[in-house]
Amino acid sequence: MRAPMNIEFLYPLVSEAIRRAETLDDLRAPGARAAYLEVSLLEEKVAEVLPASDPEGALARRGAVRAAFAAGEFARAQQLIERFNAELGDDAELRGELRGLGERAEGAMAKQFPHVAAKPGIPAVPR
């Protein structure tokens, strides 16, 4: 059985994954989306280790959602927003930030897919 991941192990992995994703994105390389998915997965692991009340835990939650959107994983991003919101309790600020990330992503999707946005609506796109 594997030992649970600790933060000292995860931080260097997250930093390297972010650097790789940003570099691939700058180069418009085909692996950029996969790299952002890796960032999202690693940030999610950090969010599992640190509570949302910890500044680094809140940062990890925002990072997991942003990276999921950057990866084109809209359904994953929405699931993360829902899951993280359920954990937040009274943290209206982080809840609002996560909601804002979702709204901005929906706006970007509406611009990218105007016909879908007009018919079934953007929430139907990830499905």
Confidence at 11, pLDDT banded by 50, 70, 90: very high
Label residues 44-78 b or e (16+ Cβ within 10 Å = b).
bbbbebbebeeeebbebbbbbbbbbbbbebbebbb
Q: Per residue in 19-72, pLDDT tens?
A: 999 999 999 999 999 999 999 999 999 999 999 989 999 999 999 999 999 999
Show me where the domains of the chain are located: 7-124
